[in-house]
Amino acid sequence: MQPAFCVQTRGGNRGRSSATGPCHQHNQLVATLSQNGDSNFFDDSAMVRWLQSAGLHHLATPLSAATLDHRMLPELTVQNSHRHIEKSKVVKQSKVVPCDLSDLTSSPSGSIYFNKQPRVDDLLSDELQLDSSPGIFDIHTINTELLSEEAEPGWWDSSSSPYAPFPETSFENGFVVGSCKPSSPSRLQSYTPDTSRPMTADKEKSAKDIVPAKIKVVVRKRPINKKELARSEEDIICIEDNGCFLTVHEPKLKVDLTAYVEKHEFVFDAILDEDVSNDEVYMETVEPIIPTLFQRTKATCFAYGQTGSGKTYTMQPLPLKASEAILSLMHNSSYKSEGFQLWLSFFEIYGGKLFDLLNDRRKLCMREDGRQQVCIVGLKEFQITDLNILKEFIEKGSLARSTGTTGANEESSRSHAILQLAIKKGSEVSEKKRSQQVVGKLSFIDLAGSERGADTTDNDRQTRLEGAEINKSLLALKECIRALDSDQGHIPFRGSKLTEVLRDSFVGDSRTVMISCISPSSGSCEHTLNTLRYADRVKGLSRNCNSKRDFSCLLPGQQEPSGIQCVSPSFDKGEEHLNLDEIDMGRMSRPSTASSQINFNSPSNVERKSGLNDTVGPEISHENTISGTSIAPVVGKSLLGHWYNEKGHVSLHDLCKGARESKNNLSCTAASRGDLREERPLGLPKANILSYGNFSNAENLTPSDRMAALLKEEDNLVSAHCKELENTINFIREEMKLLAEVEQPGSQIDAYVSQLSKVLSKKAAGLVNLQAQLARFQKMLKEQEILGLSAAA
């Protein structure tokens, strides 16, 4: 029999009532099981706890309806709950329905279902039925699929209700519930700005008094969509009632093909269920930051997650709401007389290049001035006084993003879109000359799909390199946030173009909000776990962190890796800066007898499989440098674009200065507790050092290791080229000097000949070396291509 009710608690974040979940495959409804009137919320773990507390340990795990014994649970009831809106307040309604154990069944994922088909009477309490005049319900909070089967025609006059449901066909993207989207073709949510609403003095004061956390990590789950349902995928994400705990029920198969469920538990600052609106997302994430922007804070809010997980859907409404609040504070608070202005810019990083989304995708270049301030040359900024204009700009920019070079939406998931709101003070003297000061800045970043970083095995070279670039930037971003959170003096922003662009957001007083977007479906389980692990690591070093760890898959007897939670105090001074992931990496990359016994569920293997492992990230921080060891110089190719003098053009001197400084930034020394003081180049886990420079051991390397080696070789080539240019200039100087001398009366031709011969030999040797390096890189590219092709075959 197709189960009717899923007996699982859902939603209920932060005081929001437990809500009717989306209408899933199983007509899911929030329900409470109770015994002897004693109410207990049931998700799998709560059920286990409840059974244990009832002394029914033998039933506690594994749990299935078949194991529930009628004699032991004599008075079972199911309490159906839903909510509706009454006089602008969300009201929870519930009704107890007597049930029998024969009405319960379990799914392969471990959920317990109530088989009885509900009646409308069961869904609506008596008061609610009396009150059911159009307009008092928010239809989106009611399980419409359940209702449609049983509801009498005419009980709901949708046409006259402001809460009329969108007809199912009008749901964009096949979302069953929760999408609540306007039928407008725009990707933006319908939104009516209201700047006239003044912020009261009390509100302003309390807003100012609240000090938001430096780093906040929020997870947002999107509703399951029709395509996923059509593929019979299940919702595997369970959010516990306080809105901070999340369990992923990973469907797995044993060797004998028996299905079982592996649970992964996570804790974050907030977890937003599929029924949480964009307004609520704003309130949870960005709203607390707004007042701090007037106090010289730079804030960053970014969405991370796989393609299609809802990053753009989540991010697009936020700048609008934030601008409304900023303008309201500017015009209606004590800041009124300060002469603040709000400015907008919107650009994209695609394939390591910057494009202005508000100026016909004009290519931009990033420069660093004498005071090490990063500026994006040519980026258009617009002053925002009217929210409708802002809305148009955002739409324009979003369209430019998704209709980029090839017009495919595919592109958007391979690019990072950055929308910046800057609060400025001062006047603009002329178009070219501004005497404005940035007071605060809020950057919204819609990151490339996280799984794109794993595109390193793709057949297409361009895709592989883009994937590697995305991987690099996501890892560098994580490193920067972690450095911020641990109050490290140095932020490794040079790790990627993305973090360089955000440099000024990482210095001084800064706030960061990460919204991890996840899909609920079982088909996305691996990506979802990767996203949650990334988020977990971002938050991992937070001093107040109380994160439950995803250790469900540790081997029996294996301990929580001590390096993960915080830097072990037993480390000596020299190791203090050891990156925690590096310890992980050491564990992962060292093939041991133990590792051959590790099943495929071990965290390291899961991450390795995903391609989102830390092959690049951990080594990016120059804090990894350990005194007393020599350091292999590495210069990133991005230097070519970054080193400019104050007049704006590249000088070789600056270039070399950049190379030297970057060498310090990017060099790293590998050290882990087991084998300290080992020198290795950037971007390579230990196990791969031997194969660095050629792929003779290529079959032993993972695709991402190979890609890291390739990128490393590319960096070395660019670095050697820079060096060669520097030498060439010196040779030219020497040759000019020789020429000048030989033309003097009485010059020594023999000396000239021998000096010239020396210079030419050095020049030739330099070119030969560079050519050899180039040939090696070409060979690696070729090998990578062949390996990619054979992997694909």
Ligand X SMILES: Nc1ncnc2c1ncn2[C@@H]1O[C@H](COP(=O)(O)OP(=O)(O)OP(=O)(O)O)[C@@H](O)[C@H]1O
The nearest distance, CB 633 to ligand X, in angstroms, is 36
The answer to whether 311 is a known ligand-binding residue is yes
The nearest distance, CB 166 to ligand X, in angstroms, is 11
Question: Contacts by 124-128 with C-beta closer than 8 Å and gap 24+?
Answer: 124/93, 124/95, 125/93, 125/94, 125/95, 127/93, 128/84, 128/93
Whole-angstrom distance, CA of residue 111 vs CA of residue 63: 9
Longest dimension (CA), the chain: 118
Q: Which two tokens stand for residue 706?
A: 């190979």
Q: Which two tokens stand for residue 67?
A: 């194991």
The nearest distance, CB 406 to ligand X, in angstroms, is 14
Other Cβ atoms closer than 10 A to 159 = 7
The nearest distance, CB 452 to ligand X, in angstroms, is 8
Bridge partners, residue 38, by sequence: 35
- Of residues 42 and 346, the one with the C-beta less far from ligand X: 346
- Of residues 173 and 242, the one with the C-beta less far from ligand X: 173
Side-chain half-sphere CA neighbours of 536 within 13 A: 23
- Of residues 166 and 343, the one with the C-beta less far from ligand X: 166
Whole-angstrom distance, CA of residue 781 vs CA of residue 53: 61
Q: Which two tokens stand for residue 502?
A: 């955000």
Other Cβ atoms closer than 10 A to 690 = 12
In three-state secondary structure terms, 1 is coil
- Residue 27: C-alpha distances to residues 66, 114, 228, 237, 607 (Å): 21, 10, 15, 16, 34
Helix axes 580-589 and 603-610, enclosed angle (nearest 10): 90
The nearest distance, CB 228 to ligand X, in angstroms, is 11
- Of residues 449 and 603, the one with the C-beta less far from ligand X: 449
The answer to whether 674 is a known ligand-binding residue is no
The nearest distance, CB 311 to ligand X, in angstroms, is 4
Indicate the helix (H) or strand (E) that contains 725.
Answer: helix 703-742
- Of residues 228 and 536, the one with the C-beta less far from ligand X: 228
- Of residues 45 and 403, the one with the C-beta less far from ligand X: 403
The nearest distance, CB 315 to ligand X, in angstroms, is 8
The answer to whether 712 is a known ligand-binding residue is no
In three-state secondary structure terms, 128 is helix
The nearest distance, CB 190 to ligand X, in angstroms, is 13
The answer to whether 308 is a known ligand-binding residue is yes
Question: Is 456:468 a contact under the CB 8 Å cutoff?
Answer: yes
Binding site for ligand X (CB under 6 A): 172-173, 175, 178-179, 222-223, 305, 307-313, 412-413, 449, 517
- Of residues 517 and 701, the one with the C-beta less far from ligand X: 517
Phi and psi at residue 108, to the nearest 5°: -60, -25
- Bin 475: left if φ > 0, else alpha if -120 < ψ < 50, else beta: alpha
The nearest distance, CB 227 to ligand X, in angstroms, is 10
Q: Which two tokens stand for residue 432?
A: 């070219």
Report DSSP state, residue 696.
T
- Of residues 414 and 706, the one with the C-beta less far from ligand X: 414
Phi and psi at residue 340, to the nearest 5°: -75, 150
Which amino acid is present at 505? Answer: S
- Of residues 451 and 623, the one with the C-beta less far from ligand X: 451
The residue whose two tokens read 């180049």 is: 681
Whole-angstrom distance, CA of residue 607 vs CA of residue 609: 5
The nearest distance, CB 379 to ligand X, in angstroms, is 22
Whole-angstrom distance, CA of residue 287 vs CA of residue 290: 6
- Of residues 308 and 681, the one with the C-beta less far from ligand X: 308
Indicate the helix (H) or strand (E) that contains 343.
Answer: strand 340-350
Indicate the helix (H) or strand (E) that contains 777.
Answer: helix 749-792
- Of residues 170 and 761, the one with the C-beta less far from ligand X: 170
Closest CA to 759 of 782, 732, 724, 741: 732
Helix axes 317-332 and 278-285, enclosed angle (nearest 10): 60
- Residue 640: C-alpha distances to residues 365, 397, 524, 651, 766 (Å): 11, 28, 39, 10, 20
> What contacts 605, CB < 8 A, 6 or more positions away?
598, 599
The nearest distance, CB 470 to ligand X, in angstroms, is 11
The answer to whether 647 is a known ligand-binding residue is no
The nearest distance, CB 173 to ligand X, in angstroms, is 4
Peptide bond into 561 cis (omega under 30): no
Q: Which residue is nearest to ligand X (CB)?
A: 310
The nearest distance, CB 419 to ligand X, in angstroms, is 14
Q: Which two tokens stand for residue 355?
A: 């494009």
Bridge partners, residue 343, by sequence: 383, 422
Whole-angstrom distance, CA of residue 763 vs CA of residue 757: 10
The answer to whether 307 is a known ligand-binding residue is yes
Which amino acid is present at 555? Answer: L
The answer to whether 627 is a known ligand-binding residue is no
The answer to whether 178 is a known ligand-binding residue is no
The nearest distance, CB 415 to ligand X, in angstroms, is 9
- Of residues 223 and 397, the one with the C-beta less far from ligand X: 223
Question: Which residues are part of a known binding site?
Answer: 305-312
Question: Which residues are part of a known binding site for ATP?
Answer: 305-312
